[in-house]
Amino acid sequence: MSLFRRIRSSLSHTWSLYRSDFRNMDATQIFLLILLTLLSVFMLLPLVFIFNHAFKPLHELFLFPPTFFVKQGTWQNFIDLLNASQDTFLPVTRFILNSVIVTVLATVGMVILGALCAYPLSKHPFPGRKVIFGVILLSIMIAVETMGIPRYIVVKNLGIMNTYWGHVLPILALPVGVFLLKQFMDQVPNELMEAAKLDGASEWQIFMRIMIPIVTPAMATITILSFQTAWGNSETSALFMQNDAMKTLPFYVESLTSNLANSVARQGVAAAASLIMFIPNLIIFLLSQRKVIQTMAHSGIK
Amino acid sequence: MRSKKTMKAKTSRHLEALLFVAPWITGFLLFMAFPLGFSLYMSFHKVTVLPTGLKYDFQGFKYYSELLFGSSALYDNLIPFFQEIVIMVPIILVFSLFIAIMLNQDFPGRMLFRVVFFLPIIFTSGHILTEFVNQGEGTLGFLERFSIGEYLDQFLSDSSWAKPVKDVLNRFVLVLWYSGVQILIFLAGRQTISKSSYESARIDGATPWEVFWKITLPAMSPFILLNLIYTVVDMFTFPYNPVIELINTGNYGYNSALAWIYFVVIVLFLAILLLLFLRMNRSARSR
């Protein structure tokens, strides 16, 4: 009872704070608020859609025109998903475990290696850095789809087929990450680092204590991007894993939905699977958004 | 003696820098650079998968000439896609700059709005968006409602631009969802402009309009460039774009040749954009 009262009093407290804010708004602020609210409705549409879609019973999935909100929610799609996985003799949890291990290793690796690489490219005039950066920039633009066979050859010769390394290593070098981080690091004034150098800081200390904290918003963005790349990656499973027990969740989901693309019955399973694939992205987003947005307010260093 | 010492310090600094770069570059060489070179090699060969391994038969420029002059498959996919990009990119840039400036104003709940507008970053990667568009939710449906479509048909009937323009208008919501990272970059860029320059402008009696053109926009130009590159590359490498879908069909040699043609096209396109941007920037500075 007291908990309830406490919540209520804290709520009314925040409301009273906001109420004065709302009262003191001028015309432009009200206009801004209305406009942004309207636009945010569109921003939130896919979110609402994904959640509703996964709970739709079969007859609602095929309504025309498509409906947005589910009318009679059901867990049937998720139950079907679990049952479908029993035909392969491997429980779906095995794929989830693989995916979690691979995603954690790959995300951490991508962010750390990317930051390490971007720092000298931005702040050290070592010979050949322009060439390296140019090559990175160009490699962003190539379609990864054609690299299947050559990558297979590399992975095979490294002897990492059917291991977690085979999932992680090929995707570690993420050119977009280095590119974004380098552009952000370029904006950090050189004086800051020179001051630290005069105080006797080593390169490593400058990197850890000055560079990383300043570019935290970029780091958090890269974390989200890397996580999505790793979590949604089905290519390494298809190419380098012959052992079914080493395959990951996205590959499994794709194999569930693609070879039965025209099957009506699997549409519900597909919707449930895409919700399951989406939720970790959402969680990572919610965890890192505070870092992205809060630090943005303080990163004005000029 | 002394110069030798500084030389030594310099090389050790270079070595230190290389040490930072080395792990990433190793991964890059193994899994990007080598495969790239190899796909160039494959594009001149007919690749057959045999039980004993892969067999390469030299074909010369056969696939290239076939793609460029033999059929219209490449152009049929590339040209509408190009038109769409030419329209979409400026819209995305202007829109995200506009939103970023609004989100930088002071109003209650702006942190919440920043989160909401950053949210698309988790939609744009792949499946979700595609499924959404296929469901027909990606369109606003306002073209039909206000019969703008017919008007556009009359207005642009002679050119091949009517369809791309209509597509873009129809997918206004997609523009919103493509601009997550862009808004973030602009917001971060906006924070690098010091408050004092705005204050002095206000003391000198500048209107907000003038302040935007004279202070905000010039100071944002590196971020506009960054966003321009990011947006173009993002759209070109989006896994569901028509050309990449074309790459995934056919044999490996043919695919590699197509990928390399596509690559050269993107690089040329970006180079032209960069040149234009730099020239515009310079002329704006000198004014």
Question: What is the ipTM metric for this complex?
Answer: 0.73
| Cβ A227 vs Cβ A281: under 8 Å | yes
Q: Which backbone phi and psi does B67 adopt, to 5 degrees?
A: -70, -45
Does residue B117 surpass a pLDDT of 80? yes
Question: Residue A118: pLDDT band by 50, 70, 90 thresholds?
Answer: very high
Mean pLDDT of chain B: 76
- Asked if B266's CB is within 8 angstroms of A141's CB, the reply is yes
Residues of A in contact with B268 (CB under 8 A): none
Q: What is the distance between the alpha carbons of residues A54 and A262, in angstroms, rounded to a whole number? A: 18
- Residue A264, chain B, CB below 8 Å: the answer is no
Per-residue tokens: B191: 């924070």
pLDDT tens, position by position, A260-272: 555 556 677 777 8
- Residue B193, chain A, CB below 8 Å: the answer is yes
For the segment A118-125, the average pLDDT, to the nearest whole number, is 88
Question: Residue B250: pLDDT band by 50, 70, 90 thresholds?
Answer: low
Which residue among B38, B99, B193 sits closest to A150, beta carbon to beta carbon?
B38
Mean pLDDT of chain A: 78
Q: What is the distance between the alpha carbons of residues B237 and A211, in angstroms, rounded to a whole number? A: 30
| Cβ A99 vs Cβ A161: under 8 Å | no
At B142 the pLDDT is 45
Q: What residue has token string 């925040």? A: A14
- Which of these ranges, A126-140, B62-76, B140-154, B168-182, has the smallest mean pLDDT? B140-154
Q: Which backbone phi and psi does B57 adopt, to 5 degrees?
A: -110, 125
pLDDT tens, position by position, B23-55: 888 888 888 888 888 888 888 888 777 777 777
Q: Is the dihedral of CA A132, A134, A135, A141 positive or negative?
A: positive
Q: Identify the residue with better confidence: B265 or A149.
A: B265
Does residue B161 surpass a pLDDT of 70? no
For chain B, percent of residues with pLDDT exceeding 90: 1
**pTM for this model (two decimals):** 0.76
Angle at B76 between CA B74 and CA B79, to 5 degrees: 90
For chain A, percent of residues with pLDDT exceeding 70: 79
Q: Identify the residue with better confidence: A94 or A291.
A: A94
Closest-CA residue to A98 (of A226, A243, A288): A243
pLDDT tens, position by position, A198-226: 888 888 888 888 888 888 888 888 898 88
- Which of these ranges, A19-28, B139-148, B273-282, has the smallest mean pLDDT? B139-148
Q: Identify the residue with better confidence: A173 or B72.
A: A173
Highest mean pLDDT among A114-123, B63-72, B226-235: A114-123
- Residue B122, chain A, CB below 8 Å: the answer is yes
- Residue A283, chain B, CB below 8 Å: the answer is no
Question: Residue A101: pLDDT band by 50, 70, 90 thresholds?
Answer: very high
Domains and CATH numbers, chain B: 2-62 (no CATH), 70-286 (1.10.3720.10)
Q: What is the distance between the alpha carbons of residues B188 and B191, in angstroms, rounded to a whole number? A: 5
At B143 the pLDDT is 47
Sequence letter at residue A230: A
Per-residue tokens: B9: 């310090």
At A229 the pLDDT is 85
Question: Residue B225: pLDDT band by 50, 70, 90 thresholds?
Answer: confident
At B193 the pLDDT is 79
Residue of B nearest to A47 (CA): B123
Residues of A in contact with B193 (CB under 8 A): 300, 302
Does residue B211 surpass a pLDDT of 70? yes
